[in-house]
Amino acid sequence: MYLSKQSYKKIIDDLRDGLYIVDRDRKVVFWNRAAERLSGFTSEEVISKRCADNILCHVDDIGQNLCNSSCPLAATIDSGMVHDAELFLHHKNGHRIPVSVRVVPLTDDKGEVIGGVEMFSDSSNKAANELRLLELEKLALLDELTQLANRRYLERELEARLEEMSRYDIPFGVLFMDLDDFKRVNDDYGHETGDRVLSFVGGTLSANSRPFDLYGRWGGEEFVGIVRNVTAANLKHMGQRLRKLVEKSFLLVGEERLRVTISIGATMALPEDTLQSLLQRADLLMYQSKGAGKNRLTIG
């Protein structure tokens, strides 16, 4: 059976997973429609550019930029071997999305490696998040700007988790997060850009949450995470991962990469806690992070 080049292109374009092809210099020569949908970048924006040029900018789960060190594409092109990885790509809107990646070598008729093909799929809890969005919209408990739970819903959820801990001894922790120097962002770039920053930070929190945890906007530039069934060590690890993912994300403002950081207060709920005492402790720990130099997590 003969298939034309147009038929092959249509098949690749209609894939559910993102797929792009690079040459030996890692310049993009093909970018399918799913790659556009998952990343926010159109093919016109990326063709002939290197993937590290303000496009996907992969980082690992500790926030290390892989484009200049452990890039799976580079490893495949150098070795001719298939590579699989779990990474976080940079969406055009600024937030980080967890993706499962497979890279295969592209060879010529002589078997020489002439480039690489990367396929990537969204590994975030998208289905669970979409169901949560529908529920929040129905109950008018959605923060319109960030598409996260609003303060009213967070308070209700915290009360439910305290009751659950009292009855069934199920532990949970709280992450109280505040954007560092956010007033400067609004002053220097305007409130519209400030809103875009809040949106991409919210997107990073949402995309990297477990289905049974909840993240929401407490107000202004403050966010709260309610993390169920964890130890203090787990809570610290999850908070540090989110902090580093936000730090390694950026928003393109013209040609400039606008970066922000967050300071976090992390605490486990105690049997004697009330809603007020739990939040007050988390808030105080967050301010300790601010006082210690910002862009850090304090747990207590």
- For the chain, state the CA radius of gyration: 21
Catalytic annotation, pick one of 36, 118, 157, 221: 221
| Helix H or strand E segment including 299 | strand 297-299
Which CA distances in Å does 109 have to 21, 23, 29, 36, 92?
A: 17, 15, 19, 30, 36
Task: Look at residues 47, 44, 122 and name the one whose alpha carbon lies nearest to residue 89.
Answer: 122
How far apart are the C-alpha atoms of 257 and 249, rounded to whole Å? Answer: 9
How far apart are the C-alpha atoms of 300 and 288, rounded to whole Å? Answer: 10
Collapsing DSSP states into helix, strand and coil, what is residue 3? coil
How far apart are the C-alpha atoms of 278 and 167, rounded to whole Å? Answer: 18
Task: Look at residues 247, 248, 232, 228 and name the one whose alpha carbon lies nearest to residue 298.
Answer: 232
Q: At what angle do helices 275-291 and 151-168 cross, to 10 degrees?
A: 110
How far apart are the C-alpha atoms of 194 and 252, rounded to whole Å? Answer: 12
Residue type for position 196:
R
Catalytic residue check, 221: yes
Burial environment of residue 252 by CB neighbours within 10 A (0 to 12, 13 to 18, 19 or more):
middle
Residue type for position 17:
D
Structure tokens that stand for 149 in this block: 């739970």
For residue 96, the cross-strand partners are: 90
Active site (catalytic) residues: 221
